[in-house]
Structure 1
Amino acid sequence: MHSSNLLYVPLRNTQALDLGKELSNAIALKFFQPASLFEQDLNYLTSLRDKVTGISNDDSSLSASIVQLESFQLTLFTYLSCLKELDKKFFDGCVDFTWFPTIYSKRSTPVTSDSFQYEELNIIFQIGCIYSLMGFGQSRHLDEGLKKSCQYFQLAAGSFTKVQQQVDRIVQTPVENRQFDPPLDFQKETIQCLSNLMLAQAQETVWQKAINNDTTKDSIVARLSFQTFVFYSEAFRLGQLSSFIRLEWINHIAIKKFHFLAAAHLRSSIASLNSFQYGEQVAHLRIAQQAIDKAGKYKRYVNQFVLEDFSGLSETIAIKLRVAEKDNDLIYLRIVPKESDLKPIVGVSMVKPIESDKFGDLLPSARNPLFADLIPYVIINYAQAMRERQEDFVQSKIYDPLQSLNLLMTKFLVERDIESNIDSLEQPENIPDSIINHSREIMDHGGISSIEWSFSELSKLNKECSHLVVECQKRIDIYRQEDEMIKRMHGPSGDIRPNTSSDASDILIAKVDKMREYLKQAELGDKTIIEKYNGIAPVLKVFVGGYSSLNKFIPNSNYAKLDENLSLVISELRDCVSKWETIKSDRSQFIIRVEKKNRENTILPKLIEEYKQNKESLYDSEGQIKSTNLELIYEAHLKILDQDLAYLQQTKQDQQQLEHQIEALNSKFLAHYHTSVSSTQLQRQQALQSLDAAYVKYLEIISNLEEGVKFYHDFINKGTRLLHELEEYLGKRRMESRELEMALSNHQQRIKEQQQKTALSSQAAVRQEIVSPKGQKTNIWNPDSGIKFD
C-alpha cells in the first residue's frame, strides 16, 4: 500500500481451525449418518477456512494488490455463503470460533463463541475491512482512482452498517434465546464510528475530485467540505464514546474534522470576497482560524501526510486572514458579523453506506449445496423434542389417567369396606386372598426397608439440591461483588460492558430464586409423605410379617348361617369384584401394548420424509425451519394413539358402570349386614378394613416417593445446567471486565496525552511567529484556483 492521508480498518485475526474435522465430529456425535459420506464437503470447508485464516492473519494482506484483494473478497463471500448453509444444517456448539480484535490495540483478548452467527459477524466485518483496504489502495491522482476509492469506502461503510444491523438483531433478541452475546468491540459506538469514518473518506474523495476541477464554484466546494466535516465530526464523537478506537485514530479524525471545517469556511470566504462581502469574508476566515487552533492539540501520533496537508491549509488561512483584516480595516471598513449572523453552510452529501449486492445474492459456492444429503440437525433436534413430547403425551394422557382410575377404584372399594365386609362374613377364620395378595405385593417391593431407604435417598437428593442452590447463589454473590467493584473503580458511566444487569443477570437471579422456592415446596411435600407413612407403619409391619402376623392381627369370628337374600347379594358383589380384577388385568396388558407401540413408532422417519419431499417450503425467508409445518406432522403422528385413547375412555365408562352397580348392591348388603353381623364379625371386619386402608395409603406413598425422586433428579439436572450458565456468564463478565480495564486504560492514557498536548500547544502559541507561506502540499487544493465537477 502507498502512503496516504486516509485510514483503512485492519483485518481481525483468527485462530486456525480444522473446520472439516470439527464438523465430522459433530456428525458422528449427533447425526444418524456416517461422516464419511461427506468427506469431499468436509475437506472443501477445511481448505476454505484455511484460506480465510491466511487472509486474516497474514500481514502481507495489507500490501496486496487490488486484484489480490478482490480475490480475498471472493473467498470471504464464498465462505459466508457456506456459513449460512452450515447454520441451517448444524447446531450451535459443535465448533468453537476464535477471533482477535485489532481495531484498538495490538494486544487484545481473544473472543471465542460456538455460534455460526458469531463467525458470520466476523466475516462481514472482514469484508468491510477488505473494502476499506481497496479504497485506501486506489490512486488519488486520477479521477478514476478517486471514483473507485469513493465506491469502495461506501461499500466498506455498508458492510460495517450490516454488522451493526446484525448486532442490533441479536441484542433485541431476549437473552434466554440468544445464541451468543456480541463482543465489546462490536458495540454500537465502535462500529458506527468506523462506518462514519468510511463515509467521511468517501466524501473526501468527492471533494478531492471537485478541487481538481478548476471550474468548480467555491460555494460548492464549501458545501462538500462542510459535509466531509460533518462525517468526520460524527466519527470523532462516536470514537470518543467508544473505548476501543485507537488514540492515533481519534487524533487523525480530529485533525480531519477541523481541517474540513476550516476548508469549508475558507472557501466561503473566497465566495464572500467575490461577492464584495468583505465583512463576511473576514468572519469566515476567523472561524477557519479558530478551527485550525482547536486542531493543534491533536497532532500527536498523526500521519505526516495529514499534518502536511493541515499545515499547508493553516498557513494559507493565516495569510488570507491577515490580508483580509488589513484590507477591511484600511479600505472597506465593513462590519464583521458574528458567526451566528452568518448564513450557515449547508453540507451536501454525495455518499451513503452501500451494501454489496453480494450480501443479498449469496449464491451457493462451487461445491454447494453443501451436505446435500445430510439431514439438518434442526430436524433431528425437532424429532428428539417431539419424541420427548410424545413420551409426555403417553404418560399424561394414558399412563397417568389409567393409574388414577385404578387408584380411584381401589379407594372406592376400601371406603365402602366391600371386601372386608364380605370376608368377615364368609371367611370367619381364613385370611382373605386379597389381604394375602396385598402382603405379597408389599414384600415384593421391599416392604418397610424399601420405603425407609427411599426416604433416605430423598434426604440425600434434597441435600444435593440444597448444595446446588447454595453454589448458584455463590456465583450470584460473586457477580454482584465484582460488578460493584467495577462500578466503584470506574463509576456507573465508566462501565461500558453490555448492560445485561437488567436482562441476563436478572433472569439468572430469578431462576435461582425460583429454584429455592421449588425446593422449599418439595421439603414440605417430603414431610407430608413421612407423616402419612408414620400413620400406617404399624399396619405395614403386619403386612410384611407374613401369614402368622396377619393371622394374629385379624381376629376369628363365629360362623353364622347367612340369610338367603344376603348370600345372593354377597355373590353378586363377589362377581363385581371379579370383574374389577379382570379390568385391572386387561389394563396391565394394554399398558404393555402401548409401551411397545410407543417404542416402535418414532417421528424421525416422518420428519425426514417431509424434509426430503418439501425441502424448500420448510424454510422461511430468513432460512429458519417453519415449526408450524412440523407441528402438523407431529399432530398427524399422534393419531397412532387414537385407538388407545378410545380404549381409555371405554374402560373409564366400564369402571363407572361397575361403580354404580357395586354402589347399589352395597346398599342392599348394608341393609342386611347391620342386622345380622355379630360382635366378633364386626371386630374382624374392622381389622380387615384397617389393612385395606393401609394398603391404599401404601400405594399413595409409593407413588409420592416416585414423584419425589423424579422431581429431585429433574431439579438436579436443571440446577446443574443453571450452575453452568452462571459460571459461563461470570466468566464472560470477567473477560469483559478485563477488556474494559484495557480499554479504559487506553482511554485514560489518551486523555492524559491530549491534556499534555493542550498544555504544550498553549505554551507554543505564546511564542508562535507568523511565517511565510510554504509551497503547495500533496492533496491540498489551491484556494486561488477555480474548480468544478466533470
Structure 2
Amino acid sequence: MFLSCKKSEVVVELSVLATASEGAFEDQRREPSGPSQGQRDLWTLQQLRERSMSAVQEVESGTGITLLRLSMGADEVTLFNAISAVASYASQLRALSAKVNLDDQKLVQFVWTNALNSASFSSHKLAFELGAVLFNAATLLSTTGRATVMSIDPAHRGTFPAAIKAACNALLTAAAAFQEIKTVFPLSQDSACIDFTPAVLDALEAVLIADAQELFLKKAVFDNMSPSTIAKLASGTAETFRRAYTLLAASSINGVFPAYWIQLARGKLGLYEGISFYNQSKVVAATSDAGFYGIQIAWLRAAQNALKSVHVEVFDGGANLAMRILKGVTGADTSAGFYFQESLNRVKAEVMATMEFVNGVLVPAEKDNDIIYVESVPALSALTMPTAAIMVKPDIAPLFDIYITNKIFPPLFETLTPLYIRQSQERYLKVRTEHLQPIEDLQTATTNCRTGLASINLPNAIESVFKPDSQILLEMQQTVMRDCVGDAERNGQVPPLAHMMQSAASLLLSQRDKTVQLLRAARAALDTEEAEDAEMRHGFGARWARVESTELTRGLREAIGGYADKLDDAQASDAIVLGKVDGNFQNLALLGDEGLLSVLIQGGGGGPLGESGIAAEAASRDEVNKLKGALALLNDLISKRELLFQDVQAAKAADDILPSILEASNGVHVMNEEDVFMANLKKYDAFVETSLASLTTQNNIMALITTRNQKFMEWVQTNERLTKRTEFIADHARGVALFKEIMTNLGAGIEFYTDFEPILKKLLVNCQDFCMTRGIEKKELLAELQQKSISQERQVWDGNLSSLNFKFDHNPPPSAPPPFKRQ
C-alpha cells in the first residue's frame, strides 16, 4: 500500500441518530406502525459502514495485496470492491449530512486511528466520520493509480493510453477526496488528528496531483509531441513536484512523512526541470533568430545543472543514498518499499540517461560555439522560462459515478427533507417573526396597559369613591365575618368580638394552669419521696442500705427542669399577647358592632360622608364620568384584540411554507427565496394593519385617561370628607388585621398547652410510679430492719440468762415439785 488506511475498531450504532433533528427521521412514516423510512435507511447505512470496514480490513490484513501484485494484475477485483464499499458508504453519509444537522446532538462517538502516527481521535460529528471514509477512499484510489502506473508498458501501444487515463483518474479522484476533507471537517494545524490537518492534506493532494501531471507528460512523449509541448508539460510537472516537495518538507509537519517521500519528490523535480530545459533548447535550435546558438547552449547548461544537482542530492553520485533511504522500509512494508525502490530506480535511470544525452549535445555545441559562432551564452536568469502547462485538476465525481457499481435504489434518506430546505423554513420563521412584530408589540402594549391601570388602581379607585355608605358598612361586616369570625358564626349572628377574644384568653389561661399544676404535682411527688428517704436514712444510718433518691431521680428532675423552661418561655409570650388583648380590648370590640360602625362612618367633624354629600359636587362627578367613559372605550378595544390574537394564532398554526419552498427549489437552493416568503406573508397584512391602528387608538385613549385621572386624583385628595372616610376604612382594616394577629397568637398558645398537657401527664405518671416503687421498697427494707432488730434483742436476752448459771434437773423424781414452784 502507498499509504495505510484509517481504522476504527469501535462499534457505532447509527440507529440512535433517529432521535435527532426534531423528529426528522419520523416525519416520513410510510406505515401506520413500525419504523419510519428514515429509521430503515439508518439500518441500511449501518450495514454499509460495516461492509466498508470489512473491505478495508481485507485489503490491509495480510491477504497479500501489494503494489507488486497489483502491478501484475493480481487482486484488482478485491481492491475495486473495497473502493466501491467505501464510496457507497461515503455517498450515503454525504446525503445524510446534506439533509440533517446532527453535530449538536452528540448522539454517537466516532473513533478513528490516524494513518500517519497510529494515534486515536474521536468526534461526535458526522463530518468526522465522512472525512475518515474519504481518507480511506483516497488511500485505496492512490494505491490503484500507482499500481496502474507501475504496470504501464510503453511497448504495448494499444493499452498504453487507456492505462494512462485510468491511472490519472484514480490519482485525481484521490487528490479530490483529500481536498474535500478540508471542507467537510476543517481542523487547525495543531489538531491531534494529524491526518486531517491542512498541511498534511495539502501535501497528500500535491503528491497525487504531481503524479497525475507526470502521466500527462508521459502521454505527450508517447504521442511524440513537439519539443515545445513537452517543454511546457515538463515545466508544469516540475512545478507540481516542486509544490509537493515544499509541502512534504514543511517544518510544521516535520517527521510526519517518511524521508523517501521527500527525496522522491525532489528527484522528480530535478529530472523534469532538466527535461523541460533540454526540450526548450530544441525549441531554440529550431529557430533562425540571431544569437540562438548561445541561448541553446544556455538551456543545455541549465538542464545539465538541474540533473547534476538532483544526481548529487538524491543519488549521491549513484544509488547509495536512495538505498539508504529505503533501509528499514522494504522489511517493514514490502509494498511501500517495493514501490519507492522501483520509483527511485526509475528516476535514477532517467536522470542518468538524460544527463548523458544532454552532455552528448552540450559538449559539441560548446565546441562549435567556441570556434565557429562565438556567441555569448546568457545566464539562466536572463532566459524566459517555458510556460508551465499543468493539465490536471482534482475531481471527486468519479468516486461516486464510477466506483459505486451496486447503487441503492431508491437512494437512502430520500424521504428526509433536505437540509437547505429545512434551513429555508427556519429563515422563513425568522422573517415571519419580524413581519409580525407589530402584533407582538400590540400584545406587549396590552399587558403594559393592564399593568398601568392596576398601578393607579383604576377603575377600583372610582368605584370606591362613589360607593354608598351602606355598601361600605356591608363590606366591613363581611370582612369581619370572613377574617375575624370564620367558623364561629352561629345562625347568621356575629358573636361579639370582645367575647371571642376573652374566651380565647380564658381558654389559654385555663390550659396553662393545667400544665403548671401537672408539672408542680410531678415535682412535689419527687420531693415527698426524697424527704421520706432522707428521714429514713437519718434514722437508720448505715443500715438504710439503698441508693439515694437524688441519684435515681436525676433524669426525671432534668426533664421537669426542661419542661419548666418551656413553660416560662410560653408564659413570657402569653404576657405579650394578653397585653395586646388588654390594650386593644375596647377598640377591637367595636369591629363587629354594626350600629356603632354605622354611626362612625356617617359622622365626624367634617359632616356627613355619605353619597349625598359627594353627589353635590356635580362638576367633579361629570369629570369622573368622562374618565369612566374612557376606561370603557379602552376595555372594549382590548376585548376586541383577543379575537385578533386568536385569528393570528390560527393563521400561524395553518401556515405551511414547505410546499412553496419545494416548488421554488432547484435541488440545490431555493430560487427567489425572499419573494416566496413575502408572497406567503401577505395573509398577515390585514392583521398587521389592524394591530398598528389599535395601538395608535390605545395610545390616544391612555393619554386621555392620564389627563382625566390626574384631575380626579386632585379632587379626591382635596376632599376632606372623602379623606376622613378613607382613613376610617383604613383604620378598620388595620383593626381587623390586629384582631386576626391576636387570635392567631392566642390559638397558637392554646395549641401549645393542649399538646403539652399529655406530655406532662405522662411525666407525672412516671414520677408517681417511681414513688410507689420506692414506697414498696421502703416498707420491705423497714420490715427487714425490724426483724433484724428483734433477732438481735433475743440473742442478747439468751446471753443474759446463760450468765446466771442456773442448773435445772430435767428428770426430777416423781415426787419432786416443779423447779420454780413456790414452796
Normalised-by-shorter TM-score class: 0.5 to 0.7
Amino acid at match of 1:301: I
Cα displacement (A) at 1:353:
0.7
Q: Which residue of 1 aligns with 2:616?
A: 566
Q: Which residue of 2 aligns with 1:26?
A: 20
Counterpart-to-counterpart distance in 1, 2:430 and 2:474: 47
1:114 counterpart (104, 117, 125): 125
Residue 160 (structure 1) aligned with residue 197 (structure 2): no
Counterpart-to-counterpart distance in 2, 1:148 and 1:342: 40
**Where in structure 1 are there 5+ consecutive unaligned residues?**
2-7, 176-180, 441-546, 691-790
Do the aligned partners of 2:209 and 2:240 also contact (CA within 8 Å) in 1?
yes
Residue 291 (structure 1) aligned with residue 310 (structure 2): yes
Q: 1:420 to 1:37 in 2, by over 3 A?
A: closer
Mapping of residues 476-515 of structure 1, within 5 Å: none
Do the aligned partners of 2:13 and 2:108 also contact (CA within 8 Å) in 1?
no
1:198 counterpart (192, 205, 208): 208
**Where in structure 2 are there 5+ consecutive unaligned residues?**
287-291, 327-339, 484-586, 735-823
Counterpart-to-counterpart distance in 2, 1:563 and 1:581: 25
Do the aligned partners of 1:128 and 1:157 also contact (CA within 8 Å) in 2?
no
SS of the equivalent of 1:36 reads: coil
TM-score, reference length from structure 1: 0.54
Amino acid at match of 1:289: K
Q: 1:616 to 1:367 in 2, by over 3 A?
A: farther
Q: 1:88 to 1:315 in 2, by over 3 A?
A: closer
Counterpart-to-counterpart distance in 1, 2:695 and 2:83: 64
1:148 counterpart (135, 154, 163): 163
Amino acid at match of 1:153: C
Q: Which residue of 2 aligns with 1:408?
A: 452
Q: Which residue of 2 aligns with 1:366?
A: 408
Mapping of residues 172-571 of structure 1, within 5 Å: 185-212=195-222, 221-241=230-250, 243=253, 244-265=256-277, 280=298, 281=300, 284-296=303-315, 299=322, 300-302=324-326, 303-316=340-353, 333=370, 337=377, 339-340=379-380, 343-344=383-384, 346=386, 349=389, 351-355=391-395, 357=397, 366-368=408-410, 370-374=412-416, 379=422, 386=429, 396-412=440-456, 558=604, 560-561=607-608, 563=613, 566=616, 568=618
SS of the equivalent of 1:301 reads: helix
Cα displacement (A) at 1:591:
9.3
SS of the equivalent of 1:615 reads: helix
Amino acid at match of 1:349: A
Do the aligned partners of 2:235 and 2:272 also contact (CA within 8 Å) in 1?
yes
Cα displacement (A) at 1:341:
6.4
Cα displacement (A) at 1:376:
6.2
Amino acid at match of 2:121: P
Do the aligned partners of 1:128 and 1:159 also contact (CA within 8 Å) in 2?
yes
Q: 1:203 to 1:293 in 2, by over 3 A?
A: same
Mapping of residues 707-746 of structure 1, within 5 Å: none
SS of the equivalent of 1:43 reads: helix
Instruction: Give the greater-gyration-radius structure (CA).
Output: 2
Do the aligned partners of 1:98 and 1:112 also contact (CA within 8 Å) in 2?
yes
Do the aligned partners of 1:289 and 1:318 also contact (CA within 8 Å) in 2?
yes
Counterpart-to-counterpart distance in 2, 1:163 and 1:549: 95
Q: Which residue of 1 aligns with 2:53?
A: 53
Q: 1:248 to 1:593 in 2, by over 3 A?
A: farther
Amino acid at match of 2:267: I
Counterpart-to-counterpart distance in 1, 2:203 and 2:590: 88
Mapping of residues 624-773 of structure 1, within 5 Å: 629=676, 633=680, 636=683, 669=715, 674=718, 677=721, 680=724
Identify the range of structure 1 (379-388 vs 86-95) with the bigger mean alpha-carbon deviation. 379-388
Amino acid at match of 1:611: L
SS of the equivalent of 1:355 reads: coil
Counterpart-to-counterpart distance in 1, 2:13 and 2:423: 21
Q: Which residue of 1 aligns with 2:35?
A: 36
Counterpart-to-counterpart distance in 2, 1:154 and 1:574: 92
State the Cα deviation string for residues 623-647 of structure 1 (Å, max 9, x = none): 8995874676577479789888877
Identify the range of structure 1 (394-403 vs 330-339) with the bigger mean alpha-carbon deviation. 330-339
SS of the equivalent of 1:201 reads: helix
Identify the range of structure 1 (64-73 vs 47-56) with the bigger mean alpha-carbon deviation. 64-73
State the Cα deviation string for residues 408-437 of structure 1 (Å, max 9, x = none): 2244458998677667x969996988x989
Counterpart-to-counterpart distance in 2, 1:57 and 1:638: 63
Do the aligned partners of 1:132 and 1:156 also contact (CA within 8 Å) in 2?
yes
Counterpart-to-counterpart distance in 2, 1:594 and 1:288: 86
2:664 counterpart (617, 620, 633): 617
State the Cα deviation string for residues 370-402 of structure 1 (Å, max 9, x = none): 445556687599579959987996994354322
Do the aligned partners of 2:275 and 2:303 also contact (CA within 8 Å) in 1?
no
Cα displacement (A) at 1:257:
1.5
Q: 1:585 to 1:327 in 2, by over 3 A?
A: closer
Amino acid at match of 2:217: W
Q: 1:551 to 1:91 in 2, by over 3 A?
A: farther
Do the aligned partners of 1:155 and 1:354 also contact (CA within 8 Å) in 2?
no
Q: Which residue of 2 aligns with 1:701?
A: none
Cα displacement (A) at 1:136:
1.7
Do the aligned partners of 2:591 and 2:732 also contact (CA within 8 Å) in 1?
no
Identify the range of structure 1 (381-390 vs 53-62) with the bigger mean alpha-carbon deviation. 381-390
Do the aligned partners of 1:282 and 1:324 also contact (CA within 8 Å) in 2?
no
Counterpart-to-counterpart distance in 2, 1:639 and 1:166: 50
Cα displacement (A) at 1:237:
1.4
State the Cα deviation string for residues 567-604 of structure 1 (Å, max 9, x = none): 54676677678779988998998899899888x84856
SS of the equivalent of 2:216 reads: helix
Do the aligned partners of 1:150 and 1:202 also contact (CA within 8 Å) in 2?
no
Amino acid at match of 2:453: M
Cα displacement (A) at 1:560:
1.9
Task: Provide the aligned C-alpha RMSD in A.
Answer: 6.0
Q: 1:662 to 1:254 in 2, by over 3 A?
A: same
Q: 1:431 to 1:87 in 2, by over 3 A?
A: farther
SS of the equivalent of 2:392 reads: coil
Amino acid at match of 2:125: D
Do the aligned partners of 2:278 and 2:358 also contact (CA within 8 Å) in 1?
no
Do the aligned partners of 1:155 and 1:355 also contact (CA within 8 Å) in 2?
no
Cα displacement (A) at 1:405:
0.8
Q: 1:305 to 1:436 in 2, by over 3 A?
A: farther
Do the aligned partners of 1:418 and 1:666 also contact (CA within 8 Å) in 2?
no
Counterpart-to-counterpart distance in 2, 1:271 and 1:595: 84
Cα displacement (A) at 1:152:
4.0
Counterpart-to-counterpart distance in 2, 1:84 and 1:47: 16
Counterpart-to-counterpart distance in 1, 2:410 and 2:479: 71
Q: Which residue of 2 aligns with 1:135?
A: 145
SS of the equivalent of 1:110 reads: strand
Do the aligned partners of 2:465 and 2:722 also contact (CA within 8 Å) in 1?
no
TM-score, reference length from structure 2: 0.52
Q: 1:431 to 1:52 in 2, by over 3 A?
A: farther
Counterpart-to-counterpart distance in 2, 1:145 and 1:124: 29
Counterpart-to-counterpart distance in 2, 1:684 and 1:163: 89
